[in-house]
Copies of this chain bind each other. A is one copy, B any other.
Amino acid sequence: TGVATMKFKSPPVNSLSLDFLTEFCISLEKLENNRACRGVILTSAIPKIFSSGLDITEMCGKNTEHYAEFWRAVQEMWLRLYGSNMVTVAVVNGSSPAGGCLLALSCDYRIMVENPKFSIGLNEAQLGIVAPFWFKDTFVNVVGHRVAERSLQLGSLHSAPEAHRIGLVDELVTEEKLQEKAVAVMAQWLALPDHARQLTKSMMRKAVLDRLVAHREEDIQNFISFISKESIQKSLRMYMEMLKKKK
């Protein structure tokens, strides 16, 4: 059918570790270069979670080189996904905070399970960190400036119904109908001539993509100097402790 499905399966919560990101980029590039593949569905093989976002262990107690390598991989993931020539559909079948939300935001269309227990959002501020400008740009392009400003400052995690109401996801469906709906959406987008659709997509996203490309090294340095602060390291350690206790 020309449609691939990438099912995230990195237990326990599909954290975006350096390994995950590297594998994701390689897989995406392979599909991108495969002319038989015109669309890709992103979803999770792990119940209740789409992706928990950037792996905090990669940002905690490591050296500068590691931070640089990790951040470059995060950038690469976004540049490839947001700029993909394929039709990209996120099937958000579980919660999707922070970097997980970015994954969904970077697709062409977002379907979420209509379970109010699942939430999605760029909640970085809750952890004492700041979403980088290109997370913000991607978010603004989806929900507009005001909703983004409020949501980012509050580090909001939006329940599925709320996410739908503010336009963060395009559609809610029951768990049973997810697959069927994803296939239908993909068919609708693939009905368009590839060339025209790709040029149109690029026209809409180029300004924001170019901005990171132009400031990529600066953005890496910003990340390193921010994440290396003792106060930030302390926040992250506390957050990880809290997560461990939750289990």
Contact = CB atoms under 8 A, between A and B. Distances in A.
Interface residues on A, range: 35 or more
The A interface is mostly helix, strand or loop, or mixed, namely helix
Nearest to A122: B200
Contacts of A196: 124-125, 127-130, 155
Contacts of A129: 196
A200 B109 contact: no
Interface stretch (A16-24, A44-52, A140-148, A172-180): A140-148
B125 A197 contact: yes
B195 A153 contact: no
B131 A200 contact: yes
A142 B148 CA distance: 10
B153 A200 contact: yes
Contacts of A170: 150
A63 interface: no
Contacts of A235: 193
A170 to B, nearest CB: 8
Closest 6 CB pairs of A and B: A128-B193, A125-B196, A149-B204, A130-B199, A141-B145, A128-B196
